[in-house]
Amino acid sequence: MSQGNSYGQILRSSSIIGGAQAINYLVALLRVKVVAVLLGPAGVGVIGLYTSATSLLGTVTGLGLQGSAVRAIAQAQGKNDPQAVARTVRMLRRLVWATGALGWLASIALAIPLSRLMFESTQHAWALAVLGGMLLLTAVSNGQLGLLQGLRRIGDIARVQVAAAVLNTAITIALYSWLREDGIVPVLLANAAATLLCSWWFARRVEVPAVAMDWSVAIAEAKPLLGLGAAMMWGGVLTLALDLYTRTLIARTLGVDAAGIYQAAWALSGLFAGFVLGAMGADFYPRLTSVIHDRAAAMRAVNEQTEIGILLALPGLLGTLASRSGWCGRSIRPSSRLRRMCWCGWCWACSDGYCPGRWGSSSSRWARGVGSWRRRLSSCPFRHCWQLGWCHGTVW
């Protein structure tokens, strides 16, 4: 593929997903506004802690299976091997139920310790146990999205994102207007169920050859994928563990209100970053996987993706730095300075996230090492930065 065609393909896929992400961005802004007004900083802080804890459990119990399966599907599709695609899809659809159920059991078992860790009481243990159901729904939904991403069904991925964003926003506004703080757990569960419904609706239209596979065969088929999956899981675990530690320290030291302000800043700064990373990542990973054995082509793909990532992220950074602080409501207005700080980090992530191209390679040891050292370097100055003053030091 020529360099011009390569850039054109990147821009085409980015524009399709980017259009969906733009709608998501506007809808998410409305959702953040409503949540901030209806629940206040304390409610937003509780949502952030719940989400951080369940995301960590889901990443650990997911075993990185979705990401490695996307790679396997993309490779089989690149070789025009429909039977290999069908076997990988069948294996993925079976095992996501197992990993999701494992995540729910882990959430139930660790509900009391996590509640004591984050809130210094067992008051929130029941909520964490019930939210384990969200891990099952999310795991199955990720399996459907893995199929679409591996086959590079960019249009369907965009439709799933838009439909899920609109449906989740309607559910969020309705339930929070009715239940207020008591609606946090129902909203999180309903959002996961709505996302699963949207992903299933579009994934069911993908024609995959029928393959007979029992559980023992599915587990045997998954074993070769677990090496790279473990590397992906390890990087995610370190990131989410640091995030949970940060939120827990803020909540226990300064209160849940402060955790809510931190969550608002993090969420608002991450909305546009999610727009950029989501627009590029949906097509980049399977495309890189298909050329990973051609070193020159792989490096060219990584460099081109990085250039476009920086170009897309820069306007968002400038806009955020110049944005007004009061649109979310007075209760979380202190998050405006934090939001600008967070966006500097997100802009770096947009330029750095694709540079190694490590997940397209089968070298899971190298990939795991790069991820580990990056998280260690990020976490080492954390306690010292905390002394700089409240959440601002944490963000820096």
Helices (H), 255-329: 256-290, 295-322
Alpha carbon distance 240, 17 (integer Å): 25
| Percentage of the chain modeled with pLDDT above 90 | 21
List, for residues 353-387, the tens digit of each pLDDT value.
444 444 444 444 444 444 444 444 444 444 444 44
pLDDT of res. 313:
66
Question: Which range, of 41-45, 134-138, 241-245, 299-303, averages the lowest pLDDT?
Answer: 299-303
Which range marks the domain in which residue 111 is found?
3-395
Task: Count how many domains the chain has.
Answer: 1
Alpha carbon distance 169, 27 (integer Å): 7
List, for residues 63-115, the tens digit of each pLDDT value.
888 778 888 887 777 777 788 888 888 888 888 898 999 999 999 999 999 99
User: Nearest Cα to 380, choosing from 264, 238, 237?
Assistant: 238
Band (343; pLDDT cuts 50, 70, 90): low
Alpha carbon distance 235, 241 (integer Å): 10
157 contacts 148 by C-beta, under 8 angstroms: yes
59 contacts 212 by C-beta, under 8 angstroms: no
List, for residues 108-158, the tens digit of each pLDDT value.
999 999 999 999 889 999 999 999 999 999 999 988 888 888 887 878 888
| Percentage of the chain modeled with pLDDT above 70 | 66
pLDDT average, residue stretch 346-354: 51
pLDDT of res. 391:
46
pLDDT of res. 156:
85
DSSP code string of 157-169: HHHHHHHHHHHHH
224 contacts 354 by C-beta, under 8 angstroms: no
pLDDT average, residue stretch 327-354: 52
The structure's pTM equals 0.76
List, for residues 219-238, the tens digit of each pLDDT value.
887 787 777 777 778 878 88
DSSP letter (8 states) at residue 204? T
List, for residues 48-63, the tens digit of each pLDDT value.
899 999 999 999 998 8
106 contacts 136 by C-beta, under 8 angstroms: no
Alpha carbon distance 65, 54 (integer Å): 17
Alpha carbon distance 340, 395 (integer Å): 10
pLDDT average, residue stretch 241-251: 89
Q: Is 131 helix (H, G, I), strand (E, B) or coil?
A: coil
Most confident of 32-41, 78-87, 257-266, 318-327: 32-41
**How many Å from the N-terminal Cα to the C-terminal Cα in the chain?**
41
pLDDT of res. 173:
92
CA 239 to chain centre: 11
Alpha carbon distance 266, 44 (integer Å): 11
